[in-house]
Amino acid sequence: MAEYETHPGIGVMLSWLGGNESSVAALKESAGKEIATLDIDEERLLFTFTDGTAMKLYDNGQSCCETRYMHTDDRLGDFIGAQFKKAEVRDGPTEIMEWGEPKESQFLLITTSIGQFTVVNYNEHNGYYGGFALEAKKV
């Protein structure tokens, strides 16, 4: 695979400057809660807990000229009833697409009381809007 240099987009840079205190707080408040439902679409992973609270994990780094989306091959229904423990982010590879543009990936590992599942975040762009700004938010 060829090396490809990407640059963080303005949305990602603004996220870096803003800090992550609210994300840390949302994750800490959700730790130990029992998962009632899990839902994923291209924009976010949504946890609903048995106490009626909810949390979403999403990439808030959107700039122009890029496409961001999330995907998992894991069966989220298997984790209903488990306790949410933590979320980790790991950088993935950058793939060069058909027209020479990068498709970055970042792995979101969710640990529960019965095991882990993985969500992959993707960012397809022209090389000037790279990076990720994964956030957690109470909803």
123 vs 40, which has greater pLDDT? 40
Higher pLDDT pick, 72 / 2: 72
* pLDDT > 80? residue 130: no
Q: Which has more confidence, 26 or 10?
A: 26
**Pick the residue with more confidence: 59 or 112?**
112
pLDDT of residue 111: 97
Task: Give the distance from CA 46 to its chain's centroid.
Answer: 11
Residue 13: pLDDT above 70? Answer: no
| d(C-alpha 10, C-alpha 64), whole Å | 9
pLDDT computed for residue 112 by the predictor? 98
The mean pLDDT value for 27-49 works out to 96
pLDDT exceeding 70 applies to what percent of the chain?
A: 86
Please spell the DSSP secondary structure of 12-49, one letter per residue: HHHHHHH-SHHHHHHHHHHTTPBEEEEEE-SSEEEEEE
pLDDT of residue 6: 54
Classify residue 21 as left (phi > 0), alpha (psi -120 to 50) or beta.
Answer: alpha
49-101, pLDDT tens digit by residue?
A: 999 999 999 988 777 778 889 999 999 999 999 999 999 999 999 898 888 88
For residues 101 and 117, the model is more confident at 117
Predicted pLDDT at 18:
54
CB atoms near residue 98 (< 10 Å): 5
Tell me how far the alpha carbon of residue 47 is from its chain's centroid: 13
| % residues pLDDT > 90 (the chain) | 59
